[in-house]
Amino acid sequence: MAEERFGESAACWRFDAELPAYLEGEAAPQVTAHARECQFCEVVLADLEELRSASRALPREEPSRAVWANIRTALAAEGIIHEPVRAWQRWFGFLGVSHSPAPIGALAGLLILASMLLVPSKDLRRVGSIGGASEGARVAIASIGYPGQDSDLLRTVQDLEGSFQARRMSLEPSVKAIYEKSLESLNTSIRECTESVQREPANILAREYLLAAYTRKAEVLASALEFDAR
Amino acid sequence: MPANQVPKEATSVLDRYLKANARERQQSWQILFLFLIPAGLLGAAGVAHLEKTIETIANPRISLANLQGQVVVRGWDKSQVHATWVGLSPRVELDTEVLPHKGPAEKVHFSTHVLDPLVSGKDCAADYTLDVPVNSSLEIRSPQGSVQIEKLQGDASVESVGGTISVTDVAGHLSVRSVGGNIEIIRPSGRVEAYSITGNLHFVSPTSSKLRGSTTSGKITYEGDFAPGGDYTLSAYSGDMEILCPPSASFELNAKSVRGRLENAVAITPRRHAPSPPATGYSLLGTHNTGEATVELTSYSGTIRIRQQH
């Protein structure tokens, strides 16, 4: 069949080129005309038509809220969209407490900012990350045998953590406490597993726990961002 | 008598009338207050109570989104959803979507709509009690509230951030996730997936043939038998794990821990050709009775205990 198709290449190539437009509903009389003449292209067209009609009958699945939250976070991070900001948030925005809903929150933000400015820069870096992956952890996970996957996962976790840090002030205290406790627990497991893997590179179980901890951390951060987006 | 002078008799009559009228008005106000005060108190409490009954197909898809409060869902034999909703604040209202708009519903979605986006905590709370067709499939999101599901043949998916989740007698595929809440699953018979980060997992008398449970710092307790041919995987990081099974349980065990201890009190026959144990840590591979189910237990630093039920 394939040889037959190669035999009538010019018409078949044109059929191929015009097929996407035809399937999207554009007028392309050459497509149907050619399908009537070429058995191979007729079968291709019939299959695609059948797929199209079958897919129309499928129920429409709504993507999970986590998907929307992640898309929104990515778009906001790239500056493509901007979150709506209230007037008072704009006033306090330059102080870095833009998501705190109450004036007392703004005041607390000011105090925190003031104390952070008074802390030496080395300590500030430590405070700034909520127990995020240390440099040692990055080196370790990059060298434990899943180079492609792990670096992607690490980047994802870092991106999500950046978004979470920017938004955590807007979370209700009780919810924030749950997320922070969970993240602390996961950061502990990341730190301990990293040490295990560094000590014993052949320890498969420790590697699995390390990978699982990063995956869980990404899920928890995505859940926190989704919660914030409610 | 001057024209502007009122006779004494008339004054006393007028006085009596005014006094009587004042008493009457006072009594009326007292009666009104008797009714108004409780009504005002109820209004101030802001409790709203709604009930709805929706005709459905035998296996509808029910979804529910509630921020805070208690959600109770029970399966029943009717092709109806009966919902009782109690809004605990005047700042929340119930939204219901039913599809299709005519005829028995195939999909029903309940959500608590917060009228003021700045409110939080208990001002967002609402309690739900749903009776649903026993073959319904459920999807519940209750970030800060508790969820309780009972007697359901269909699938159920529950997500929470800090609320406790309790599921009893569910036969369909069960997917339960909570970031910090405890999860209790009693007598499941379908596939089970339960995940938490800091919450505890408690499985009681499962008859499922596929069960997965994972927590980071919470504790895992499994009480019950293992179905022949079943596949059970439990994983904790720093939390302890306790397996309590009957003497008749038949399973092949693969228990491993990086730094935690393994305490086994059941008779395990070691495998003849067991894979080489890890260089460090603890592992136990073997068969209890005829090894009909597969049980995989792992921990990083938590203790794994395997004991027999009395």
In tens, the pLDDT along B73-98 reads 999 999 999 999 998 888 888 999 99
Give one word for B194, left, alpha or beta, with left for phi > 0 and alpha for psi -120 to 50.
Answer: beta
Q: At B164, list the tokens.
A: 């406790």
Chain centroid, CA B2 distance in Å? 85
> Is A226:A163 a contact under the CB 8 Å cutoff?
no
Q: Is residue B54 part of a domain?
A: no
Q: Is residue B191 part of a domain?
A: yes
Q: Is residue B122 part of a domain?
A: no
Contact status of B67 with chain A (Cβ, < 8 Å): yes
Interchain pair B281, A227: CB under 8 A: no
Strand B137-141 relative to strand B48-65, pairing: parallel
| Percent over 70 (pLDDT), chain B | 82
Interchain pair B216, A220: CB under 8 A: no
Q: Is residue B80 part of a domain?
A: no
Say how many residues make up chain B. 310
The minimal CB distance from A200 to the residues B179, B180, B279 is found for B279
**Confidence class of residue B216 from pLDDT cuts 50, 70 and 90?**
very high
Q: What's the angle, vertex CA B245, arms to CA B239 and CA B247, rounded to 5?
A: 145
Contact status of B118 with chain A (Cβ, < 8 Å): yes
How far is the C-alpha of B222 from the C-alpha of B234, rounded, in Å?
A: 9
Torsion of CA A100, A102, A104, A107, to 10 degrees: 40
pLDDT value at residue B30: 54
Interchain pair B300, A182: CB under 8 A: no
Q: What's the angle, vertex CA A95, arms to CA A89 and CA A99, rounded to 5?
A: 35
Mean pLDDT of all residues belonging to chain B: 86
Q: What is the interface size between A and B, counted as CB pairs within 8 Å? A: 78
How far is the C-alpha of A74 from the C-alpha of A160, rounded, in Å?
A: 9
**Exposure of B64 by Cβ count < 10 A (0-12 exposed, 13-18 middle, 19+ buried)?**
buried
pLDDT value at residue B43: 46
Rg, chain A, Cα only: 27
Amino acid at A51: L
Stretches in chain A below the pLDDT threshold 50: 1-4, 84-149, 229
Chain A neighbours among B 171-200 (CB < 8 Å)?
Answer: 179-180, 197-198
How far is the C-alpha of B1 from the C-alpha of B14, rounded, in Å?
A: 19
**Confidence class of residue B21 from pLDDT cuts 50, 70 and 90?**
low
Q: Is residue B284 part of a domain?
A: yes
Q: What are phi and psi of A77, to 5 degrees?
A: -65, -35
State the nearest Cα–Cα gap between B162 and chain A, in angstroms.
7
Average pLDDT over residues B273-299: 82
Interchain pair B161, A175: CB under 8 A: yes
Contact status of B301 with chain A (Cβ, < 8 Å): yes
Of the candidates B205, B206, B233, B238, which has an alpha carbon nearest to the alpha carbon of residue B219? B238
How far is the C-alpha of A121 from the C-alpha of A127, rounded, in Å?
A: 10
How far is the C-alpha of B296 from the C-alpha of B256, rounded, in Å?
A: 8
How far is the C-alpha of B34 from the C-alpha of A167, rounded, in Å?
A: 49
pLDDT value at residue A68: 67
Say how many domains are in chain B.
Answer: 2
Task: Identify all chain B residues contacting A193, using CB atoms and an 8 Å cutoff.
Answer: 300
Chain centroid, CA A229 distance in Å? 15
Q: Are residues B163 and B36 in the same domain?
A: no
**Bridge partners, B183 (sequence order):** B165, B201
> Is B220:B238 a contact under the CB 8 Å cutoff?
no
pLDDT value at residue B74: 97
How far is the C-alpha of A89 from the C-alpha of A99, rounded, in Å?
A: 7
Average pLDDT over residues B43-49: 65
Interchain pair A205, B256: CB under 8 A: yes
Q: Is residue B63 part of a domain?
A: no
Strand B48-65 relative to strand B80-87, pairing: antiparallel
State the nearest Cα–Cα gap between B219 and chain A, in angstroms.
13
Of the candidates B294, B282, B253, which has an alpha carbon nearest to the alpha carbon of residue B270? B253
List residues of A whose CB lies inside 8 A of any B CB. 101, 172, 174-175, 178-179, 181-182, 185-186, 188-189, 192-193, 196, 200, 202-206, 209, 212-213, 216, 220, 223, 227, 230
How far is the C-alpha of B286 from the C-alpha of B166, rounded, in Å?
A: 33
Which of B36-40, B64-68, B286-290, B301-305 shows the lowest mean pLDDT across its residues? B36-40
How far is the C-alpha of B64 from the C-alpha of B73, rounded, in Å?
A: 10
**B209 against A11, higher pLDDT:** B209
**B39 against B162, higher pLDDT:** B162
**B118 against B67, higher pLDDT:** B67
**Exposure of B224 by Cβ count < 10 A (0-12 exposed, 13-18 middle, 19+ buried)?**
buried
Element of type H or E holding B305: strand B304-308
What is the residue whose two structure tokens read 């995956």? A215
B9 has a pLDDT exceeding 70: no
Q: At A80, list the tokens.
A: 């493509």
Average pLDDT over residues B112-117: 82
How far is the C-alpha of B310 from the C-alpha of B296, rounded, in Å?
A: 23
Interchain pair A200, B198: CB under 8 A: no
Residue ranges of the domains in chain A?
2-57, 66-85+128-228
Eight-state DSSP code of residue A169: G
pLDDT value at residue B189: 96
State the nearest Cα–Cα gap between A89 and chain B, in angstroms.
13
Q: Are residues B162 and B301 in the same domain?
A: yes
Element of type H or E holding B83: strand B80-87
pLDDT value at residue B53: 95
ipTM higher than the 0.90 cut: no
Average pLDDT over residues B292-305: 95
* Structural domain containing residue B265: 155-308
The minimal CB distance from B162 to the residues A174, A188, A209 is found for A174
Element of type H or E holding A142: helix A135-142
pLDDT value at residue A171: 83
How far is the C-alpha of B8 from the C-alpha of B274, rounded, in Å?
A: 119
